[in-house]
Homo-oligomer: A and B are copies of this chain.
Amino acid sequence: MALEHAILVSLAERSASGYDLARRFDASIGNFWKASHQQIYKVLGRMEAQQLVEASLVEQDGRPDKKVYAITADGRLELARFSATPTPPEVLRSELAVKLRALPFGDRDAVVASVRARRVQHEEKLAYYSESSQRFYPDAEHVPQDQLGSWLVLRGGILAEETGLAWCDEILQALGAER
């Protein structure tokens, strides 16, 4: 149930409407946790009932009104409690790996195409992360304490994409395909 906690973190960093959160979950937070706006609204409703967050209606002109959510004291407690919880191992599910294993029974060229597509995705995300890294943390040796977590998450993303890229290259080479 870590979507709840991802939302708490995001609201602790800065209060936001459901719509704002949905956009964050498509960008910065989305780098390590994905969620649709429907899911977010549903969970926000539950969290408000549990008094982990509180909403205030903000009237806007030029655009529809919105409900801005803020984390409560209870929410901060829950976030701290979660932070102190042991982290279960992550379960990986790789459809690409299934297809690789299915190579003797499947379509080699199509799998190569999938790997090429995956490679492009890794390249794009890596480029995006690298750009973010240079923009927000130009001095990698001196990252401010309060941004340490975000920086480490970004580093994890970069490492993961580099590795994904390297794996794709290894696959393509083994299958005798050009990049």
Q: Is A9 among interface residues, defined by CB-CB distance under 8 A? A: yes
Given known contacts A32-B94, A84-B107, what 19 new A-B pairs fall within 8 Å (CB)?
A6-B98, A8-B102, A12-B105, A32-B97, A34-B92, A34-B93, A83-B105, A87-B95, A87-B114, A88-B95, A100-B149, A100-B153, A101-B153, A103-B148, A103-B149, A159-B170, A160-B167, A162-B163, A163-B163
Interface of A is mostly: helix
Q: Is A2 among interface residues, defined by CB-CB distance under 8 A? A: yes
Give how many A residues have a beta carbon under 8 Å from the other chain's beta carbons: 67
Known A167-B155, A174-B152; contact A105-B90, beta-carbon cutoff 8 A: no
Which of A38-46, A58-66, A74-82, A126-134 contacts its partner? A74-82
Q: Is A175 among interface residues, defined by CB-CB distance under 8 A? A: yes
- B-chain residues with CB within 8 Å of residue A106 when the two chains form the complex: 79-80, 82-84
